[in-house]
Amino acid sequence: MQDVVTVGVDGTPEATAAVLWAAHEAELRRARLRLLHAWVLLAPEPEPEVPPEDDRNYWPHRIVGEARAAVRDRHPALPVDEALVAKDPLVALEEAAEQSCLLVLGSRDLGGVARYVMGETGLQVVAHTGTPTVLVRARQGAARAPDAPVAAALSLHEPCQALLSFAFGSAARRGAPLRVVHGRHLPSYAYNRGGGVEPVAAREAVAAAREELAAALRPWREKYPEVVVDPRVELESPARALLRDAADAALLVVGRRHKLRFPAPRIGHVVQAAVHHAPCPVAIVPHE
Confidence (pLDDT) at 52: 65
The mean pLDDT value of the chain amounts to: 85
Report phi then psi at 59, rounded to 5: -70, -40
Confidence (pLDDT) at 69: 97
How wide is the angle at C-alpha 287 spanned by C-alphas 180 and 147, nearest 5°?
A: 30
Q: How sure is the predictor about 236, in pLDDT bands with cuts at 50, 70 and 90?
A: confident
Q: Chain-centre distance of CA 219, in angstroms?
A: 23
**How much of the chain, in percent, has pLDDT values that exceed 70?**
81
Task: Answer yes or no: is pLDDT of 261 > 50.
Answer: no
Helical H runs in the chain?
Answer: 13-29, 58-74, 89-98, 120-128, 161-174, 199-223, 238-245, 269-277
Confidence (pLDDT) at 128: 82
pTM: 0.88
Q: How sure is the predictor about 227, in pLDDT bands with cuts at 50, 70 and 90?
A: very high
The closest of 219, 230, 268, 274 to 252, measured between CA atoms, is: 274
Q: Which residue has the higher pLDDT, 126 or 122?
A: 126
Query: Residue 81: left if φ>0, alpha if ψ -120 to 50, beta else—which one?
Result: beta
pLDDT, tens only, 132-148: 999 998 776 555 677 89
Confidence (pLDDT) at 201: 73
Question: 1-142 and 147-288 share one CATH topology?
Answer: yes
Task: Answer yes or no: is pLDDT of 226 > 90.
Answer: yes
Confidence (pLDDT) at 179: 98
Task: Answer yes or no: is pLDDT of 212 > 90.
Answer: yes
Pairing of strands 229-234, 178-183: parallel
pLDDT, tens only, 66-94: 999 999 999 999 999 999 999 999 999 99
Topology, domain 147-288? Rossmann fold (3.40.50)
Confidence (pLDDT) at 114: 35
Q: How sure is the predictor about 258, in pLDDT bands with cuts at 50, 70 and 90?
A: low
Confidence (pLDDT) at 47: 62
Tell me the C-alpha to C-alpha distance, in Å, between residue 18 and each of 1, 35, 287.
21, 10, 23
pLDDT, tens only, 188-210: 666 666 666 767 777 888 898 99
* Burial of 196 (C-beta count, 10 Å sphere; 0-12/13-18/19+): exposed
Domain boundaries along the sequence of the chain: 1-142, 147-288
**How much of the chain, in percent, has pLDDT values that exceed 90?**
55
Q: Is 221 in a helix, a strand, or coil?
A: helix
Task: Answer yes or no: is pLDDT of 112 > 50.
Answer: no
pLDDT, tens only, 10-45: 999 989 999 999 999 999 999 999 999 998 888 776
* Burial of 74 (C-beta count, 10 Å sphere; 0-12/13-18/19+): exposed
Residue 108 CB-half CA count within 13 A: 12
Task: Answer yes or no: is pLDDT of 110 > 50.
Answer: no
Give 1-142's CATH code, choosing from 3.40.50.620, 3.40.50.970, 3.40.1190.20, 2.130.10.10.
3.40.50.620
